[in-house]
């Protein structure tokens, strides 16, 4: 099985597509479109532009929280 786009009609009657990996897993799905032509046009646009797409990693490295310093108890003498 190769990678593929599947176009389907949802319960609301809108056309959607999903992109499936070669192992059959869904990679992503679209929003709903009123017409099948609009869904197909979006697929064509993705195919045309995906090779030129940049990766914009906007995640930030999460720093480990600083350990709280234990307060020293005053000794009573």
- Which residue range is the domain that position 14 belongs to? 4-51
Question: Does any domain span residue 34?
Answer: yes
Q: What is the pLDDT of residue 1?
A: 72
Question: Does any domain span residue 35?
Answer: yes
Query: Does residue 72 register a pLDDT over 80?
Result: no
Task: Please say whether the beta carbons of 29 and 46 come within 8 A.
Answer: no
Provide the number of structural domains found in the chain: 1
Q: What is the pLDDT of residue 70?
A: 66
Nearest partner of 12 among 42, 36, 33, judged by Cα: 33
Question: Does any domain span residue 45?
Answer: yes
Residue-wise pLDDT for 22-65, tens only, equals: 999 999 999 999 999 999 999 999 999 999 999 999 998 767 67
CATH number at residue 36: 3.30.160.160
What's the whole-model pTM score?
Answer: 0.70
Question: Does any domain span residue 61?
Answer: no
Cα→Cα distances 22→17, 26, 49, 53, 68, Å: 16, 10, 21, 21, 49
């Amino acid at each position: 099985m190769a990678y593929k786009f599947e176009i389907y009609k949802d319960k609301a009657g809108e056309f959607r597509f999903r992109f499936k990996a070669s192992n059959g897993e869904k990679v992503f799905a679209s929003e709903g479109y009123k017409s099948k032509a609009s869904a197909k046009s979006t697929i064509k646009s993705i195919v045309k532009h995906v090779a030129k797409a940049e990766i914009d990693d906007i995640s930030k490295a999460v720093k480990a929280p600083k350990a709280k310093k234990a307060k020293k108890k005053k000794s009573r003498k």
